[in-house]
């Protein structure tokens, strides 16, 4: 069972079983924070974000920003965070395109030439990692197709990607997200939806889907900071990425209701989040109480 906020009720009383969750909260020494829908929505920083980051520093807890959105480079994400008032360094950021590059280099070293459905920033990241980008031409044969969150997607390139996949080329998705959260009056069709179109057109599933919920996203953070899975809390707004990944990695899964998932959807989801909170402020209160209880013990 999971903690769930209820109007007029002390939410901490709804953590069940209380001892188990409290014990896990006391063990947390690092927090992985999803970005879109968790610390901000589009270009709007949530009011609770800055106080929450200050609280982590006060409690001596580390944090890493984690995102499935590959449409920006590391430097662009850092600049975006700075515009929102958050100062971060490269070692506190991990993206799905980084995970994709590491996966391809580690498990598919023969893939050198790729046809990309992705924006300019994603293409530059792949190029900087040593991959050659092929043109939209039947004469420029790739070793594989890489699909991401492509806001510049055109019908000819979508058709070309499907054609290469039908020719037997392996294809890789940077993330499974169906839509990207936004504060604009539109729907941002994400990588998962683009992949659904390709799968319907070709009858073939992706060779691999990187990003969350692949636990490799968390393992990179654990290795970087020398911590164990139970010492990390994964905080995000999506059940099928953030919470599924936390469960698969053995970390504490914290769902915030500031993005995609609703309380009703969370109640039906399996595996259930370990904790469900209205936002970062509420989770911060739980962390503070957990640290205070640690001192008492």
pLDDT in tens, 224-241: 899 999 999 999 999 999
3-state secondary structure of 134: coil
Asked, as a colleague might, if the bond just before 253 is cis with ω within 30 of 0, I would say no
CB 191 within 8 A of CB 84: no
CB 194 within 8 A of CB 117: yes
**Looking at residue 219, what is its pLDDT?**
86
Query: Would the CATH topology of 11-68+212-296 be identical to that of 97-209?
Result: yes
For the residues 165-179, what does the mean pLDDT come to? 95
For the residues 266-295, what does the mean pLDDT come to? 91
290: pLDDT confidence band, cut at 50, 70 and 90?
confident
Helices and strands in the chain, H and E counts: 11, 15
| 240 vs 296 pLDDT, higher one | 240
For residue 133, what are the β-bridge partners?
Answer: 114
For the residues 21-40, what does the mean pLDDT come to? 94
In the chain, where are the structural domains located?
A: 11-68+212-296, 97-209
For residue 62, what are the β-bridge partners?
Answer: 30
Mean pLDDT for the chain overall = 91
For the residues 11-28, what does the mean pLDDT come to? 67
220: pLDDT confidence band, cut at 50, 70 and 90?
confident
Q: Where are the beta strands (DSSP E) in 240-293?
A: 252-256, 275-277
| 19 vs 51 pLDDT, higher one | 51
Tell me which of 3.90.1150.10, 3.40.50.1000, 3.30.300.210, 3.40.50.2000 is the CATH number of domain 97-209: 3.40.50.1000
pLDDT over 60 (residue 33): yes
For the residues 134-163, what does the mean pLDDT come to? 97
In 3D, which of 196, 145, 163, 174 has the Cα closest to residue 241?
Answer: 174
**Looking at residue 8, what is its pLDDT?**
40
Domain 11-68+212-296 sits in CATH at: 3.40.50.1000
Longest alpha-carbon distance in the chain: 69
Q: CA of 179: how far to CAs of 21, 95, 116, 153, 190, in Å?
A: 31, 17, 19, 14, 4
What single DSSP character describes residue 55? H
Say whether pTM exceeds 0.75: yes
What single DSSP character describes residue 273? P
pLDDT over 50 (residue 139): yes
3-state secondary structure of 259: coil
Q: How far apart are CA 297 and CA 295, in angstroms?
A: 5
Tens digit of each residue's pLDDT (9 = 90 or more) over 55-99: 999 999 999 999 999 999 999 999 999 999 999 999 999 999 999
**Looking at residue 297, what is its pLDDT?**
53
1: pLDDT confidence band, cut at 50, 70 and 90?
very low
- Considering Cα of 200, then 137, then 140, then 175, what sign does the dihedral take? negative
Tens digit of each residue's pLDDT (9 = 90 or more) over 194-212: 999 999 999 999 999 999 9
Query: Which residues have a Cβ under 8 Å from the Cβ of 177 and sit 6 or more positions away?
Result: 68, 69, 149, 190, 191, 192, 211, 238, 241
């Amino acid at each position: 069972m999971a903690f769930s906020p209820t109007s007029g009720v002390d939410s901490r009383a709804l953590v069940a079983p209380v001892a188990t969750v409290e014990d896990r909260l006391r063990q947390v020494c690092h927090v992985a924070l999803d970005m879109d829908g968790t610390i901000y929505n589009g270009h709007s920083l949530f009011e609770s974000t800055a106080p929450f980051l200050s609280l982590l520093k006060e409690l001596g807890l580390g944090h890493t920003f984690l995102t499935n959105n590959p449409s920006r480079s590391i430097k662009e994400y850092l600049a975006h965070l700075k515009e929102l008032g958050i100062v971060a360094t490269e070692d506190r950021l991990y993206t799905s395109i980084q995970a994709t590059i590491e996966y391809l280099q580690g498990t598919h070293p023969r893939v050198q030439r790729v046809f990309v459905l992705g924006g300019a920033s994603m293409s530059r990241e792949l190029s900087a990692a040593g991959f050659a980008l092929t043109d939209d031409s039947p004469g420029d044969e790739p070793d594989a197709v890489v699909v991401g969150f492509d806001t510049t997607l055109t019908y000819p390139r979508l058709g070309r990607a499907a054609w290469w996949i039908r020719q037997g080329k392996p294809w890789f998705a940077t993330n499974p997200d169906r839509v990207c959260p936004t504060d604009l009056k539109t729907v941002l069709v994400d990588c998962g939806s683009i992949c659904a179109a390709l799968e319907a057109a070709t009858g073939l599933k992706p060779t691999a889907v990187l990003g969350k919920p692949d636990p490799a996203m968390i393992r990179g953070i654990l290795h970087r900071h020398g911590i164990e899975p139970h010492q990390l809390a994964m905080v995000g707004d999506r059940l099928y990425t953030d919470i599924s990944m936390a469960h698969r990695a053995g970390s504490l899964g914290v769902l915030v209701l500031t993005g995609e998932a609703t309380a009703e959807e969370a109640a039906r989801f399996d595996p259930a989040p370990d904790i469900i909170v209205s936002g970062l402020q509420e989770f911060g209160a739980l962390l503070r109480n957990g640290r205070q209880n640690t001192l008492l013990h």
